[in-house]
Amino acid sequence: MTSAIDTNVYTDMQGLAQLRQQVRAEGDERSPETLRKVAGQFEAMFVQQILKTMRESCLNEGLMDNDQSRLYQGMFDQQIALEMSRGQGLGLSDMLVRQLGGDSAANAEPRVREPADPFLVPAMAARRPVSLAYGQHRPAALDAAPPADAVSGCSGVPLNDVRQNDVLGDTPVREWRPASQKEFITDLWPHAESAARKLGVDPKVLLAQAALETGWGQHIMQRRDGSSSHNLFGIKADGRWSGDQVNHRTVEFRHGVLQREQASFRAYASPGRSLADYAEFIRNNPRYEDALGSDDPHRYVMELQRAGYATDPAYGRKIMNIYNSDEFQYAVAAAQYQQRQAATEAQEVSVVDAQPNSMPAQNTPQNSPLWDSPPRDSIDVASLYAGEG
């Protein structure tokens, strides 16, 4: 063992016991170090169970398989599980630490990781440090802009879904957390279209930027009461912002060095309001004039980066990695198809409602030959028997 509570070899049976004794001695069961080590042990057990299930799923045994070989194979798998859970591991321990310790544990032990390219696969956005998802390195002096007081935030054609009006409209919403990338795109699509029309850009690039900033909606800053701030683009608040705001720690690149800072960010009643305010923020800020009206998504994000929207030198590239991914394009196509279907259904309903009594002429009794003759009570019955004798 390298330390009193490191269990780097599967045969070390005292690691957990020593960890338990140390926690009792220190009296702090929720310290970041303790949570990290316990989460690592749980991740090792999880990986070991995966390997065990994988071995058991093999139906055929080799000629050399026997009880002894399976024993050593199990010992080897246990050691593999420990090695795989060390360091960054599978990301399970990071999630456990955030759930067990909350933001305090995440902030107490910074774990800023920048892989070669963590956003080649959009699903990895959820594994990046939570602090990086909040306001991707905003310079406070550069992000000051007049508030969008006149913005309604609900223009665009909503999907044929009650959830659109309740969750993404002007009605205040406490929490919005999409269950998948497809749901993230579907929920925001009509509002992204509205914002994109104001900016003259592709709505997909706005969604890709929001996905980067929020980890696909999974890491949105929260207010003190635990409700969501719905800040999808990490726009900071200054003295000219009269709306709600939330304070949170963020990471900024200063002279090429990552630094943790405390900053105030804008808070909105709903994600739809956030998209509307983003459009006004970009359109009313002279710094981003070169980015407006750009049909090329790559040019748009690069102009934003050049103008100082984010201090991360790879900010534009990360957005385009999400934009060009197959998962993102599939989610956008699904959202567009659902919107077209909803529009078609709404149009059919409106046509039927506009003509509720319309029926084919040949089926109306007024035009039937049976109604061409006078009513029976007006017929001269005596004439029917005339000439009989």
Residue 265: strand, helix, or coil: strand
Contacts 24+ apart (CB under 8 A), 23-31: 30/100, 30/101, 30/105, 31/108
Catalytic one of 187, 213, 277, 280? 277
> What gap in Å lies between CA 113 and CA 96, rounded to an integer?
17
Question: Three-state SS across 348-377?
Answer: HHHHHHHCCCCCCHHHCHHHCHHHCCCCHH
Q: Give me the sign of the Cα torsion angle 91, 95, 97, 103.
A: positive
Residues making up the chain, counted from first to last: 389
Tokens of residue 4, six digits: 């009193």
Do 259 and 167 form a contact (C-beta atoms < 8 A)? no
Residue 29 is given by DSSP the state T
E strand or H helix at 60: none
Give bridge partners of residue 228 from the DSSP assignment: 222
Distance CA 94, CA 126 (A): 11
Given the residues 43, 252, 303, 312, select the one marked as catalytic.
Answer: 252
Active site residue 277: yes
Task: State how far the Cα of 120 lies from the Cα of 124, in Å rounded to an integer.
Answer: 8
Q: Is 372 a catalytic residue?
A: no
Q: Could you list the active site residues?
A: 252, 277
